[in-house]
């Protein structure tokens, strides 16, 4: 399963998305981990509202796959509060 650390999440946000976009859409990239069952790494992304997945999944995937075409992207659901708390921890690194 995924392993959230504010430092690694900050790196993923800086590389693939933006902090403000993540806040606006209640989305947070959590981690990239090796997959034991395939040669592809797994990119874990949490979203607060699964009903938006049809709208935001493709733009997220295309941004990430520009740099890492063989990565597997897995979306998981977290509450808005959990995502806000995680984003606040990432934001604290900028201070």
Residue ranges for the chain with pLDDT beneath 50: none
Give 81's contacts (C-beta < 8 A, 6+ positions apart).
none
Q: What stretch of H or E contains 13?
A: helix 6-16
Which pLDDT does position 69 carry in this prediction? 86
Residues 6+ apart with CB under 8 A from 44: 2, 29, 30, 31, 32, 33, 74, 76
Residue 94 is predicted with a pLDDT of 73
pTM for this model (two decimals): 0.89
Which residue is it, tokens 């504010």? 6
Domains of the chain listed by start with CATH number: 6-92 (3.30.300)
Query: Is 13 exposed, middle or buried, given 0-12, 13-18 or 19+ CB atoms closer than 10 A?
Result: buried
């Amino acid at each position: 399963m995924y392993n959230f650390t504010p430092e690694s999440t900050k790196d993923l946000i800086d590389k693939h998305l933006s902090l403000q976009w993540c806040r606006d859409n209640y989305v947070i990239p959590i981690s990239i981990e090796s997959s034991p069952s395939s040669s592809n790494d797994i990119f874990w992304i949490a979203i607060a509202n699964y009903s938006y997945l049809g709208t935001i999944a493709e733009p997220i995937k295309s941004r990430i796959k520009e740099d890492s075409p063989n990565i597997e992207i897995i979306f998981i659901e977290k509450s808005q509060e959990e995502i806000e708390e995680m984003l606040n921890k990432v934001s604290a690194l900028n201070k």
